[in-house]
Each structure stands twice: as structure tokens, then as C-alpha cells.
Structure 1
Amino acid sequence: MTKNNLYVDIHVLQTVPSSNINRDDTGAPKTAIYGGATRSRVSSQSWKKAIREGFKKDSKEHDWLNGFRTKRTATLLAKELMKKDSSLSFDDARKKAKEVLSNMGLKFDKAKKNDKSNDKDFETKVLLFFSPSQLRKLAEYILNNDEINKIDELDKKEATKVLKEAKKELDRNQSLDLALFGRMVADDPELNVEASAQVAHAISTHEVVPEFDFFTAVDDAKTSEESGSAMLGTLEYNSSTLYRYANVNMNELIHNLGEELAQIGLKEFIKNFALTMPTGHQNSYANKTLPQYILVTIREDTPVNLISAFERPIQSNNGYAKKSIEQLEAEFDSTSSWIGEPLSSFVHANKGFVTTVGERKTNIDELLNDVSTVVAKRVENEDTDD
């Protein structure tokens, strides 16, 4: 692990046309008040889900890229137990899995009286994050250590030791999304994983005004004598240029994954942060776009969100992207003059946009490779100094 701090900041400007990619409880696009103006907003949780879906597509050969976020941990663990011990029935395996997880401090729901399947009895009270490898290793531990199946027969000291070893299996072999976004288990803090990445809510660089789409639907089976629509309604939407920001603490990512996987994981995260989108109402609006601008910086001092560039909303009747780039880079220069230049900066922008910061890259692969090279050399130098 590096001795000095090492942070990777990712800044993205992305123009999204008429859309409703992240809804609130009324079905309207989410918004935020910033700088006294209403902005379009996409929650960090929504974009994290899109990023995790991107990992899933890349995980066909490498299951460490994607984990489970589920209440059905006992059922998944039971299936792993059955793979390794074919003599176990599903009911017995699930009971064994629940017993072990309960002893480890996890709490489960209770099935309702009319629930004949009793599936609810095997669901944890909260969503939990695990990697496929962690569940496999825990299954192996359960089958290879009789003590964990006889916790009630052990004295307190011995039982604590056995359970501590079992919990270690849920700390090793983390998936990328678990290593990045962390795991919080209120029932047992020993199962917590510190997140190595932070993702900000995306907000528009300018004020937005909600718009409404009035729609009708016709019943195709109606006769020619019948008139009128079968359905009427309205959908709220907006369009915006979004500023998106995330950062990665490389020390923490290396702690969670090890140096080799952390380097691969960093590239996967930057790529999927830049290229994925939440899919809300996508079939209605076909709003999938690519970023017009990506700036990645590597720092040793502190991660820096540059949203203050847009505290005063951009005013324009001729597009927002160009002015957004100018204001973002002005804020970058102002920040650099205050706390110092980053170790390295790399930028990719659409043709026609002038940039004044960082080394300009022609495509995302070139950007990812250069970021990875700088980070790898920094980590290698720190290790050599040891």
C-alpha cells in the first residue's frame, strides 16, 4: 500500500436530451436547489446501480467484478453449500446457512402466517453486499470446520474465535463494487467494509424548467364507430447538461483488493462511470448519450469536487456544454492556485471544444491507460521506498 495519500478525481460533463432518467416519488425527474436555482439531479445511488450493471457485463469471465446486493444471502449460501456437498437437501442447506449467518450477528425477517413457503424466514432484515467468491469461501469454511456447526457447545472464548475466522471469509475476496462502495452492517460492525470511492449527485450546470408531455393511447381493437382515447396522461421531463463527479481513494482500494486488482478495478470504475447511464424511461426518450468532456486528475493532497464552478448557473441561448467546460476549467485553475497542482491531469473532450488543462487524449482507452500508468508508477515507487 502507498504511504502517501493517492486520490483519483473524475469530472464529467454530459448533455442529456429530453429525459426522466431518475424519478422522485411523484414520477417527476429529481431536482435540487443549488445557487438559488432549480437544477436537474440524478442521485448517486442511481448512477452507482448503472455502474454495477456495467461491471456485471464485464464479469462473465471474472466474477470478482460484480457482487450481490441482496436480502437472500442465506439462500445463495445454501446453493454454494449444495454445490460442495451434494448430500445436502435445499431445506437442510438453507437452515444451516441461516444458523451460521445468525450466529455471525445477522438478523432475519419472520414469515407471515399465510406464507407457506417460509421464504421470508430466510431473508435478512436489510440488503447486504457480498461477492460470489466470499460466499464460496464461507461455504468451504462451514463444511471444513465442524466447530462452526457446534457453536452452542463451545465456551464463549472458543465460539468467538471460530466466528471471527468465519467473518474473515466475508472480508477477503471482495468484488469490485463491494470494494468501491463499501458495506455497512449495523448488526455487526466487524462485517463492515470501508468504501474506497465516493460518487456525487449529478446536477445540471444551469437552471432547468420542468416540461410536460401530454399523451394519449388509442385502443386498436375499437370499431370505426367508436371514438375517443383509451388512455390520457402526462409525463414530466427535462433536458440538461450535467456535471458529474466521483473520486477513488487508491490506498483504500488497494487495501480492499490488493495492488494488481486495484489497478484493473480503477480502470473499470472510470470507464463505467463515464459510459453508463441510469435507464429510467429510456425506452420512451432514447436519451442515451456519451460525455462531451472527461477530466481525470491524480492528487496526493485531497479529492476536490469542482461543483462550485456552477454555483452561479450558466446562462445561454446557444448551448451549455462550451460554457460549462470553460467554467469548470477556470474553477480547476483557481483550485490549483490555492492548494497546488495535481500530480497529473488527463482530459478528453469532443472535437470543437477548446481545453486548457491537462494532457488531451483522443479516446477513453488512451485516457484510461495513461491514468493507470501514472498510478501504477506512484504505487511502485512507494513500495520501493519501503
Structure 2
Amino acid sequence: MTQFLQVHLLTFFPPSNMNRDDTGRPKTAMVGGAMRLRLSSQALKRAWRTSTIFSEALKGYMGERTQRLGEEILKALRAEGVSEAQALAIARAVAGQFGKLNEDETPARIQQLAFISPDERKAAFDLARRYAAGEIPLPEKAKGKRGKANKVESEEEVEAPEILLLRESDTAADIALFGRMLADKPAFNREAAAQVAHAITTHRISVDDDYYTAVDDLKRPSEDAGAGFIGETGFGSGVFYTYMSINIDLLIRNLGGGDQARDLAATAIAALVEAAATTAPSGKQNSFAAHGRAGYILAERGKAQPRTLAGAFAKPVEGGDIMDASIGRLEEFREAIDKAYGPTADATKVMRVGGEGSLADIIVFAREGV
């Protein structure tokens, strides 16, 4: 049966605006009839994936999410003395494997963000250089017809070269964890091994407004006393419940299977857990420095169907010590739901700041399940 690792974190963040909505205010959610602050799963995953912890632990085993692979190839070919027309045709032929190409002033750029592994990137540059050297013929439709500013006037699509660049599995740990979708190449989509919930505060909140001014340093006393700039930004504070579930078997398969994949999976899980406990989204951090660390972590390992413990906070937590009350509510709910449905975990590990365990203990426990 499939082995799952589930991680539950409670983290206090001081006044901050780490994840904004379209109006610039902190994201929120109505839960149990009470307004809560929210950190989207996208913001959390982005912060963890780009953290120093994650990127250093997985150096050489991380993909790139970009539309600009073709432009990078175009730049490299120009530097190697390939003519502009040929370089652009080659860049389009290669980049077209990762998605539909633009037909405007950026003809080497694909229209969607594509998650590209290191293996695929290397294969793409190798293929481009083989085209440039004349080792293999360039597909005729890749050449296209161009007018001003290299705009593609032909409506013909770029044909895929015979040498396939895309991989069904590889050593890109972040793609293996978080998955990818290639709209034009669905056969090479990757199912995410890690599921991450939106984090919510365990208690009701209100979003406050910070009215601020900036003073012109060169303004003379004889001038008016007004500020050089006036602004307003929203902020909020609270204890956030964060939940993620990792399908360990799927992660290993996404990484190609075998002992090397298992070792890489263990490193990826350890880095993800550490990043989740210590890294916050980057929004407005220069203004608020809300670099919180988890005050409580519950890690569970087992073969039963994963389940969130967010239901512990359907009724907002109240009281003076919100962190302590949230921990108590989570543990009570976990005991109750396991009594009703049977235990989910075969093994658990807890870290509580000021109490039992450490982050190092949690990381060792997470690696042991791989």
C-alpha cells in the first residue's frame, strides 16, 4: 500500500501582509462563520521551493518554471555566431516542444509557463546545437515566414523534432513534488506527490490598515510640513494552521524509481519539511519582517488515506494564549477523529517549542519513511 507522510504546522506570524489579494490587502477566507487570514498554497509552495534551504539541499536537481527557454537558446546561439534567422528558427523548433509559441514580437517565447527539468533543459540546448551544426535537419515549419521585428506571419505550427526532449520522469525534485501541467503535451504532465492546503488562522481576525507617510530628506524647513508620499496598506496577525500530505511512493516514481530516486526523495522531503517550518512567503517582508517559525509540528506516517485536521478550527479558537489553545484543539480533534475512523498514522513525531522534540527530530522522522 501507498506510504504517506502528513505534516501539520502551527505558526505564529506578527502583523504582516505576506500574501495579497487583487486589492493589495491580505488574503482571507470565511471559515466556520468567522473571517480568517489565509496564505494560499501557491504562495507557500513558491516560498518553500525558492528558499535557500530547499535550493541548496537540491542543487542540480531543481527545475525552472519559465516561458523563456527559447529566448535563452536564441541568446546562446547568437553568442556562438549562428545567424539571427537560423537561431530564431532553431529556438522555436526546440521551445515548441514545451508549449504553443507566441506569434508576436517575442516569437521564441512559449505562451504558458512550463516546468522544465535540468535533464530537459540540457537536452534542449544539445538539440539546438545539433541543429546549428547541421547534424540533423531543421523542421521546415519551424522556419516560418517573418515580417518586421521577427513577427511570425505564418499560422503554421512548429513541428516536433524527431528527438524527444520531454521526460515522463527525471531528477527534478521540485517537479516531482509539486507536479506540472503542459497543456499542449498532456502525456508529459506530472502528478504532484505533495498536496499543500491553504493555511488559515485558527481564530477570527480583522484586517487592519497602516496609514504611512514618507518624508522628503531634501525638503527645507521653510517649505510646507507635508509628507513627500502618503500611503495605506492592510495587515493582519495570527496563528496559522498549515497542512501538507506527501505520497512517498509517487514521489519516488516521479524521480525515476530505484535507489538513487529513493535517496533523492528523502533529501527532497527533508528540505521541504525544514522549509515549511522556517520559511514564510515574501510579500511585504521589507515592511513587516514577519519571519515566523513553526511553534508546533505534528508529523504522521502511515498507509491510511490522508486527512486534514483543519476541522479542529471550524469553531474559531479564543482566549489569551492562542498558540497553546490551538495546539490543544488540534490534538483533541486528532484523537476524536482517529477514534471515529481508526488511526491514520502508524508512527508520529511531535515538536513543540518550549516542550518536546526538535525540528531535527521531525526531519529524521520524515526521512525514515522513504
Same fold (TM over 0.5): yes
Displacement after TM superposition at 1:8 (Å) = 0.7
CA contact (8 A) 1:299 1:343 kept: yes
- Calculate the TM-score normalised by the size of structure 1: 0.82
Displacement after TM superposition at 1:243 (Å) = 0.3
Displacement after TM superposition at 1:108 (Å) = 1.2
Instruction: State the percentage of identical aligned residues.
Output: 31
In structure 2, distance between residues paired with 1:194 and 1:219: 52
Q: Alpha-carbon deviations, 1:246-293, whole Å to 9, x = none?
A: 111111100011222111111111111221111111111121111100
Structure with the largest fraction of helix: 1
In structure 2, the partner of 1:95 is 89
Displacement after TM superposition at 1:172 (Å) = 3.8
CA contact (8 A) 1:219 1:229 kept: yes
In structure 1, the partner of 2:36 is 39
1:67-216 alignment, distance < 5 Å: 67-78=63-74, 86=80, 88=82, 92-102=86-96, 104=97, 106-111=99-104, 118=105, 120-140=106-126, 149-150=138-139, 163=162, 166-167=164-165, 169-216=166-213
In structure 1, distance between residues paired with 2:57 and 2:6: 28
Residues 330 and 274 of structure 1: CA distance in aligned 2, closer, same or farther (over 3 Å)? same
Residues 295 and 81 of structure 1: CA distance in aligned 2, closer, same or farther (over 3 Å)? farther
Residues 75 and 161 of structure 1: CA distance in aligned 2, closer, same or farther (over 3 Å)? closer
Residues 148 and 255 of structure 1: CA distance in aligned 2, closer, same or farther (over 3 Å)? farther
Residues 78 and 61 of structure 1: CA distance in aligned 2, closer, same or farther (over 3 Å)? farther
In structure 2, distance between residues paired with 1:206 and 1:37: 8
Residues 274 and 31 of structure 1: CA distance in aligned 2, closer, same or farther (over 3 Å)? same
1:1-386 alignment, distance < 5 Å: 4-54=1-51, 58-59=55-56, 62-64=59-61, 66-78=62-74, 86=80, 88=82, 92-102=86-96, 104=97, 106-111=99-104, 118=105, 120-140=106-126, 149-150=138-139, 163=162, 166-167=164-165, 169-226=166-223, 227-257=225-255, 258-316=261-319, 318-341=320-343, 342-351=345-354, 360-361=356-357, 363-373=358-368, 375-376=369-370
Q: Alpha-carbon deviations, 1:83-123, whole Å to 9, x = none?
A: 9xx56467644431311343x37211122xxxxxx4x1111
Unaligned runs of 5+ in 1: 112-117, 153-159, 353-359, 377-386
Unaligned runs of 5+ in 2: 142-158, 256-260
Displacement after TM superposition at 1:214 (Å) = 1.7
Displacement after TM superposition at 1:224 (Å) = 1.1
Aligned length: 345
Please give the root-mean-square deviation of Cα atoms over the aligned residues, in Å.
2.7
